[in-house]
């Protein structure tokens, strides 16, 4: 259903990993090669399986190297007792294999084009018109790996940008439409246009949003993306 680069990235163990627990629906894997900001992550896929990936050091803090088996409820109890907090899960959305054909066969709308440094004044006006919260949530930047904009009456009203993610063939994207121009399909067309750009460069588009961002969830569905699961990481303030 999902392209192989996506399933390989999320579901195939690395050469440096070691399986600590697997009961068919809940898996814990230790990997000493994890970066510090991803020393503990939790992936729950839409089939109901939860996969925990952590460093041996965090596994030791949680007492996961002992012989006593632990289910997901027990794991989360150990997290709470240890004082290790999670940041808060994001939805993960991707285009399925079936969605690729329609996506790649669709022309870009005339109102959409790539943005360059020459568009810096228009982008600055776009940022001035957006709220700080919206800019923080969307994380669109003019200097990202790919940046596309949608224009209405000569004004930049919607921006999507993306960058390669975790040294994988994935391109993490964000999109933001100015409030007066929402509901007109700008985000949908822009997400699909920038996704074609990524696929042409052998990167799978990745769309993430917080669980309670219902507008962003709806935008993902409108653009033709399918939910892969949820992904959570350790909070930067956690002691372990």
Q: What is the 3-state secondary structure (H, E, C) of 191-204?
A: HHHHHHHHHHCCCE
pLDDT tier at 44, thresholds 50, 70, 90: very high
Pair 176, 127: CB distance under 8 Å:
no
**Percent of all residues in the chain with a pLDDT value above 90, rounded to a whole number:** 89
Question: What local confidence, expressed as pLDDT, does residue 67 receive?
Answer: 63
35-39 mean pLDDT: 93
Facing residues of 45 across strands?
229
Q: 125 pLDDT exceeds 80?
A: yes
Q: 69 pLDDT exceeds 80?
A: no
- CA-nearest of 170, 173, 158 to 207 is 173
Q: Which residues contact 176 (CB under 8 A, 6 or more apart)?
A: 130, 134, 135, 137, 138, 140, 158, 159, 160
**Percent of all residues in the chain with a pLDDT value above 70, rounded to a whole number:** 99
Q: 68 pLDDT exceeds 80?
A: no
Q: Which residues contact 46 (CB under 8 A, 6 or more apart)?
A: 227, 228, 229
Q: Which residues contact 21 (CB under 8 A, 6 or more apart)?
A: 27, 28, 64, 69, 70
Instruction: Encode pLDDT of 93-104 as tens digits.
Output: 999 999 998 999
Q: 154 pLDDT exceeds 70?
A: yes
Q: Which residue has the tokens 């956690």?
A: 238
Question: What local confidence, expressed as pLDDT, does residue 2 receive?
Answer: 96
pTM as predicted: 0.94
Question: What local confidence, expressed as pLDDT, does residue 185 receive?
Answer: 94
Instruction: Please work out, in degrees rounded to the nearest 5, the angle formed at the alpha carbon of residue 185 by the alpha carbons of 224 and 211.
Output: 55
pLDDT tier at 66, thresholds 50, 70, 90: low
206-228 mean pLDDT: 94
How many helices (H) and strands (E) in the chain?
8, 11
pLDDT tier at 116, thresholds 50, 70, 90: very high
Instruction: Encode pLDDT of 176-191 as tens digits.
Output: 999 999 999 999 999 9
Instruction: Please work out, in degrees rounded to the nearest 5, the angle formed at the alpha carbon of residue 226 by the alpha carbons of 220 and 227.
Output: 90
CATH architecture assigned to 96-224: 3-Layer(aba) Sandwich (3.40)
Domain spans in the chain, listed from the N-terminal domain onward: 4-91, 96-224
- What are phi and psi for residue 122, nearest 5 degrees? -65, -40
Q: 63-90 as b/e, with b when 16 or more CB fall inside 10 Å? A: ebeeeeebebeebeeebeeeebeebebb
Token digits for 21? 């627990």
Pair 213, 220: CB distance under 8 Å:
no
Question: What local confidence, expressed as pLDDT, does residue 215 receive?
Answer: 87
Pair 161, 146: CB distance under 8 Å:
yes
Can you tell me the distance from the alpha carbon of 32 to that of 41, in angstroms, rounded to the nearest whole number? Answer: 13
Pair 82, 62: CB distance under 8 Å:
yes
């Amino acid at each position: 259903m999902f392209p192989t680069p996506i399933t390989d990235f999320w579901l195939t163990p690395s050469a440096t990993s070691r399986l600590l627990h697997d009961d068919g629906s809940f898996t814990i894997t230790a990997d000493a090669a994890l970066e510090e900001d991803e020393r503990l992550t939790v992936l729950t896929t839409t089939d109901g399986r939860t996969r925990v990936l952590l460093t041996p050091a965090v596994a030791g803090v949680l007492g996961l190297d002992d012989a006593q088996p632990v289910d997901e409820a027990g794991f989360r109890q150990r997290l709470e007792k240890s004082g290790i907090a999670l940041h808060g899960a994001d939805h993960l959305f991707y285009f399925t294999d079936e969605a690729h054909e329609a996506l790649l066969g669709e022309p870009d709308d005339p109102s959409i084009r790539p943005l360059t440094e020459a568009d810096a004044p228009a982008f600055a006006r776009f940022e001035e018109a957006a709220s700080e919260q919206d800019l923080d949530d969307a994380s669109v930047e003019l200097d990202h790996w790919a940046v596309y904009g949608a224009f209405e009456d000569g004004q930049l009203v919607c921006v999507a940008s993306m960058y390669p993610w975790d040294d994988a063939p994935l391109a993490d994207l964000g999109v933001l439409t100015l409030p007066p121009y929402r509901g007109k399909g700008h985000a949908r067309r822009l997400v699909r246009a920038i996704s074609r750009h990524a696929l042409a460069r052998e990167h799978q588009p990745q769309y993430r949003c917080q669980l309670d961002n219902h507008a962003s969830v709806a935008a993902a569905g409108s653009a033709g993306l399918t939910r892969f699961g949820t992904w959570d990481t350790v909070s930067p303030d956690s002691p372990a």
